């Protein structure tokens, strides 16, 4: 089998896995009822082709310790990043503000972090607290560089997926540093070996370690987790909570960015 056909076969296998993962049962669309008493809100944003279910363990943990949590599906493949950021984050902020919270934090997976950075390019969030990004393609994804122009990839990932390359035309290259306390958690395991083959150095199956970093981040943590499941790991969720409460990851009291 020639190399082009091997690539096509591998991509079809991986993208079919993405499709199956995106079909996980989603939470009901009705927003959670106001319970009162909590002073902070956390907006949880899933990644490309995922659903609110992917972030449900984080949601449950944060709710249990007293945060009010906004975690809803959004149509991640339907529009460019800038449009999604304006629509989805504005809606989330309205929900939090209706609860008269003191601070609004964000916990994101993958492209969700890019939505937050995009929103903050032109808009302020006066109540902005801390931001935890899980496996974010902050400098783009090398996978998109390799297969972004393939018909099947474009079909499955939509306009936003096309923006996630590392080159000068990708959205990562256009985003300026933002003023926020940001913690980044990156992974080094993969369930996508064929995609990892396209990525130089250590990676999580979608994004290389260097591509997850931000100049303005306050703390940085590397864990043995894959891009697909990093948000479901108990140890990662514990670190998310630590950063939201203290501004650093456990064992990183002075930060390590």
Whether 33 is in a domain gets the answer no
- Per-residue confidence (pLDDT) for residue 251, from 0 to 100: 85
- Per-residue confidence (pLDDT) for residue 39, from 0 to 100: 82
Sheet of strand 219-223, all strands in order from the earlier edge strand to the far edge: 68-71, 40-45, 103-109, 128-134, 181-187, 219-223
Average pLDDT, integer, range 132-137: 98
- Of 226 and 251, more confident: 226
Whether 252 is in a domain gets the answer no
What's the pTM value of the predicted model, to 2 decimals?
Answer: 0.84
- Per-residue confidence (pLDDT) for residue 196, from 0 to 100: 84
Strand partners, 213: none
Between helix 3-22 and helix 151-162 the angle, nearest 10°, is 60
- Of 253 and 199, more confident: 199
Strand partners, 131: 106, 182
pLDDT bracket for residue 252 (50, 70, 90): confident
Whether 76 shows a pLDDT value over 90: the answer reads: yes
pLDDT digits (tens, 9 = 90+) for 41-51: 999 999 999 99
> Could you tell me the maximum CA-CA distance found in the chain, to the nearest angstrom?
63
Whether 253 is in a domain gets the answer no
pLDDT digits (tens, 9 = 90+) for 112-134: 999 999 999 999 999 999 999 99
- Of 66 and 27, more confident: 66
- Per-residue confidence (pLDDT) for residue 256, from 0 to 100: 65
Whether 180 is in a domain gets the answer yes
Cα–Cα distances in Å, from 135 out to 11, 36, 67, 122, 168? 21, 32, 23, 24, 21
CATH number of the domain enclosing 218: 3.40.50.1820
CA-atom Rg of the chain in angstroms: 17
Torsion angle defined by CA atoms of residues 24, 15, 48 and 252, in that order, rounded to the nearest 10 degrees: 90
Whether 169 is in a domain gets the answer yes
Whether 103 is in a domain gets the answer yes
Per the rule left: phi > 0, alpha: psi between -120 and 50, beta: everything else, 56 is alpha
Whether 255 is in a domain gets the answer no
pLDDT digits (tens, 9 = 90+) for 140-194: 999 998 887 888 888 989 999 999 999 999 999 999 999 999 999 999 999 887 7
**Averaged confidence pLDDT in the chain:** 87
Q: Residue 105: which domain range?
A: 40-244
Whether 220 is in a domain gets the answer yes
Q: How many domains does the chain have?
A: 1
């Amino acid at each position: 089998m020639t190399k082009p056909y091997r690539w096509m076969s591998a991509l079809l296998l991986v993208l079919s896995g993405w499709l199956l993962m995106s079909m996980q049962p989603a939470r009901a669309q009705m927003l959670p009822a106001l319970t009162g008493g909590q002073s902070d809100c956390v907006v949880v944003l899933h990644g490309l082709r995922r659903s609110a279910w992917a972030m449900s363990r984080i949601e449950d943990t944060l709710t249990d310790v007293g945060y009010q949590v906004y975690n809803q599906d959004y149509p991640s493949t339907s529009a460019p990043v800038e449009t999604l950021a304006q629509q989805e984050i504005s809606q989330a902020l309205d929900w939090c503000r209706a609860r008269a919270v003191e601070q609004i934090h964000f916990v994101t997976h993958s492209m969700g972090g890019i939505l937050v950075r995009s929103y903050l390019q032109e808009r302020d969030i006066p109540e902005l607290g801390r931001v935890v990004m899980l496996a974010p393609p902050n400098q783009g994804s090398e996978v998109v560089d390799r297969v972004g122009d393939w018909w099947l990839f474009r079909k499955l990932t939509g306009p936003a997926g096309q923006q996630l390359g590392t080159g000068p035309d990708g959205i990562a290259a256009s985003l300026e540093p933002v003023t926020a306390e940001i913690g980044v958690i990156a992974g080094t395991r993969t369930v996508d070996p064929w995609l990892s083959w396209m990525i130089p150095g250590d990676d999580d199956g979608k994004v290389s370690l260097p591509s997850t970093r931000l100049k303005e981040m306050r703390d940085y943590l590397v864990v043995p987790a894959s891009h697909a499941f990093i948000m479901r790991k108990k140890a990662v969720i514990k670190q998310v909570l630590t950063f939201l409460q203290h501004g650093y990851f456990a064992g990183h009291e002075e930060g390590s960015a």
